[in-house]
Copies of this chain bind each other. A is one copy, B any other.
Amino acid sequence: MHRTKVKVAEDALDANTTIAEANRHDFDHAGVRVVNLMSAPGAGKTTLLEATLPTLDARVGVLEGDVQGSMDSDRIAHLHIPVVQLNTEAGFGGECHLDANMVRSALGDLDLHELDLLVIENVGNLVCPAEFRVGEDARAMICSVTEGEDKPLKYPLMFRACELVVINKTDLLPHLDYEIEKMRTNLETVNPTARVLEVSARTGEGTEAFTEWLSGVAAREAAAV
């Protein structure tokens, strides 16, 4: 007598993991390391990339995720950096995040073998992007001081998902009721091991530490997903 084989159907999240692993295989094969960069809308992801990528000692490319438009990829292309724009508007009202399959659909437009590092700039959102791995080596997020110190407590998954938290727009601190120490305490509550950088992408202050971090990721050994 044969026993019935029971196979539990994969759900949407598992499908994402499967495709993320395929992406990761392609990244490893090409010798490119990948950063998934996330933040709320307007926290300064593109501005930080503009301030740091031109001085990076690695061959870098960018994948820009936005609901609509190509403004950010135009800014990156202006720096003579290979960039692909990925718009999510085809989804139901516009998808609020990138998933592994969307990233995969754009990989054919990048020559991965010519890159040491690929930075994926996710859709501006503090919730869903943290729920979808895309095959990345490292996840980083930017939190602007204008957003208030309470964000780690209100969006814990995002802050927990990232190994690096960049506190941006420090040039505005004199004009705000914002205490960086309170932000660091709140962050420590949800992610005690996160590395924290304080920068002003606008003035350039502190941004060299982010460039160094990117260099470090580009030099990492390939690891399993």
The minimal Cβ–Cβ distance linking A73 to chain B, given in whole angstroms, is 12
Checking B128, B151, B175 against A42 with a beta-carbon cut-off of 8 angstroms, the contacting residue is B151
Query: Are A157 and B124 in contact, with the CB atoms below 8 A?
Result: no
A108 CB–B CB distance under 8 Å: no
User: Distance in Å from the Cβ of A47 to the closest Cβ of chain B?
Assistant: 9
User: Could you say how many copies of this chain the assembly holds?
Assistant: 2
- Scoring A residues 168 to 188 as 1 if CB is less than 8 Å from chain B, else 0, what string do you get? 010110011100000000000
Complex contact A147–B41 (CB within 8 A): yes
In the assembled complex, A114 has its CB within 8 A of some CB on chain B: no
Decide if the interface of chain A is mainly helix, strand, loop or mixed.
Answer: loop
Give the Cβ gap from A113 to chain B, nearest Cβ, in Å.
31
- Does A69 touch B at the CB level, under 8 Å? yes
Q: Closest residue of chain B to A202, judged by CB?
A: B177
Complex: chain B residue closest to A96, CB-CB:
B127
Q: Is the CB of A154 within 8 A of B96?
A: no
What is the CA–CA distance of A68 and B154 in the complex, to the nearest angstrom? 5
Can you report 12 residue pairs joining A to B where beta carbons are below 8 Å apart? A40-B40, A40-B124, A41-B147, A42-B146, A71-B150, A93-B131, A94-B127, A94-B156, A96-B125, A128-B128, A172-B175, A175-B175
